[in-house]
Amino acid sequence: MRRALWCLLTAGMLLGAAPLRADDAKLESLLRAHFFNKEFDGFNYYMLEIEADRSGEGGVREVTAVARGEFLGQVQRVKALFLIVGDRVEGGQVLEKNGLPPCLSSTPKSGKSL
């Protein structure tokens, strides 16, 4: 009897968690395509974690995501807040960014504009 109950509970947790993971993967893919792939272009790798996902009225979601990447042994971390409606990112804001310093050109700047 205990074994049957344990199997039912385990199966229920696994089946209940499967759609949530698929939704997380879809959300990660959307955020990577919209922002993080550009931010971490040229890095050896980067990892993305969804910290918070709050639903609002009319299908609006506020998603907080943190990405960490490595480039030439240096680590960069970016935390951003996104406003998502349906399958579209409507807006976003970088909340924190630390790690690598900005790239500076080694050539002297001239007075000409591009």
Q: Is the predicted pLDDT of residue 88 greater than 80, yes or no?
A: yes
Q: pLDDT (tens digit, 9 = 90+) per residue, 4-19?
A: 544 544 544 444 444 4
Give the pLDDT band of residue 22 (cuts 50, 70, 90).
Answer: low
Residue 13 domain-assigned? Answer: yes
Residue 87 domain-assigned? Answer: yes
Regarding predicted confidence, which is higher, 65 or 110? Answer: 65
Question: What is the rounded average pLDDT of the residues 67-72?
Answer: 92
Q: How many CB atoms lie within 10 A of CB 80?
A: 21
Number of domains in the chain: 1
Note whether 86 and 61 are within 8 A (CB).
Answer: no
Residue 103 domain-assigned? Answer: no
Between the CA of residue 105 and those of 24, 102, 110, what are the distances in Å? 39, 10, 12
Determine the structural domain holding residue 53 and report its residue range.
2-98
Which of 3-17, 70-84, 100-114 holds the top average pLDDT?
Answer: 70-84
